[in-house]
């Protein structure tokens, strides 16, 4: 029995079957130098803020949030700390991507700018699941990732169409200019993601040019 392969396969299936529609990578200005304790606190605080923006403070404080799996990685060098995630958008996925990136980019001086993070709608569920769980084959699934993960209990179903309160909370945190900047980065990342998928599938695309 190869325990590492079984573990990797189980996590990959969990993500692939999770009804997620957005995937992302949250980076730091310098993932090699960020203090580990500080990084974990920033990530936990960030996700709680995201939950409060989309569900309101009272609801988030009572355990309702964005359904997500999160995975800490240290990169090929073993020192570049960052976080991968798959999430179910509580609104239009494009809007969620923009808000998630914009909030992280301004969250703290140690968090990376818009262009360094990578948050897009999921184009290929299986490919995404394999990528964000890849370090679990080395039994490196990190407790910090588990602390950031969330799954609403019971039969709670959030309104993926959004609502006026949600829009108000977003605009209380972000300017229209910041959202437009995030959307510009998102468009570039979507094109690059699709080009990568096309190359993987042996296809050609205008996005490859």
- As a whole number, mean pLDDT of residues 18-26 equals 95
Can you read off the two tokens belonging to residue 71?
């995975």
Q: How far apart are CA 72 and CA 43, in angstroms?
A: 10
All structural domains of the chain with their residue ranges: 3-208
- pLDDT of 208 reads 32
- As a whole number, mean pLDDT of residues 168-176 equals 96
Q: How far apart are CA 57 and CA 33, in angstroms?
A: 32
**pLDDT tens track for 34-57:** 998 999 999 999 999 999 999 999
- pLDDT of 155 reads 73
Whether pLDDT at 1 is above 90: no
Average pLDDT, the chain: 88
- pLDDT of 42 reads 97
Burial 37-54 (b: 16+ CB within 10 A, else e): eebbebbeebbbbbbbbb
- pLDDT of 153 reads 86
Is pTM, for the whole model, over 0.85? yes
- pLDDT of 205 reads 37
**pLDDT tens track for 181-200:** 999 999 999 999 888 777 76
Within 10 angstroms of residue 195's Cβ, the number of other Cβ atoms is: 17
**pLDDT tens track for 76-130:** 666 789 999 999 999 999 999 999 999 999 999 999 999 999 999 999 999 999 9
- pLDDT of 76 reads 65
- pLDDT above 90: percentage of residues in the chain: 68
HEC profile of the chain: CCHHHHHHHHHHHHHHCCCCCEEEEECECCCCCCCHHHHHHHHHHHHHHHHHHHHCHHHHHCCCCCCEEEEEECCCCCCCCEEEEEECCCCCHHHHHHHHHHHHHCCCCCECCCCCCEEEECCCHHHHHHHHCHHHHHCCCCHHHHHHCECCCCCCCCCCCCCHHHHHHHHHHCCHHHHHHHHHHHHHHHHHHHHHHHHHCCCCCHHHC
Residue whose C-alpha is closest to residue 72's, from 64, 80, 63: 80
């Amino acid at each position: 029995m190869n325990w590492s392969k079984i573990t990797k396969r189980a996590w990959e299936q969990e993500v692939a079957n999770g009804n997620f529609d957005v995937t992302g990578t949250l980076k730091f200005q310098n993932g090699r130098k960020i203090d580990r304790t500080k990084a974990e606190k920033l990530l936990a605080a960030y996700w709680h803020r995201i939950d409060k923006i989309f569900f309101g403070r009272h609801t988030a404080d009572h355990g309702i949030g964005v359904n997500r799996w999160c995975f800490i990685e240290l990169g090929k060098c073993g020192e570049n700390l960052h976080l991968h995630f798959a999430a179910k958008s509580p609104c239009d996925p494009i809007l969620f991507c923009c808000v998630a990136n914009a909030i992280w980019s301004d969250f703290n001086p140690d968090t990376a700018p818009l262009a360094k993070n990578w948050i897009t709608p999921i184009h290929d569920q299986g490919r995404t699941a394999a990528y964000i769980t890849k370090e679990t084959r080395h039994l490196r699934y990190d407790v910090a990732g588990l602390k950031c993960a969330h799954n609403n209990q019971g039969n709670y179903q959030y309104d993926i169409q959004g609502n006026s309160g949600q829009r108000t909370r977003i605009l209380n945190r972000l300017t229209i200019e910041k959202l437009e900047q995030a959307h510009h980065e998102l468009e570039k990342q979507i094109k690059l993601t699709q080009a990568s998928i096309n190359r993987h599938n042996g296809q050609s695309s205008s996005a490859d040019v």
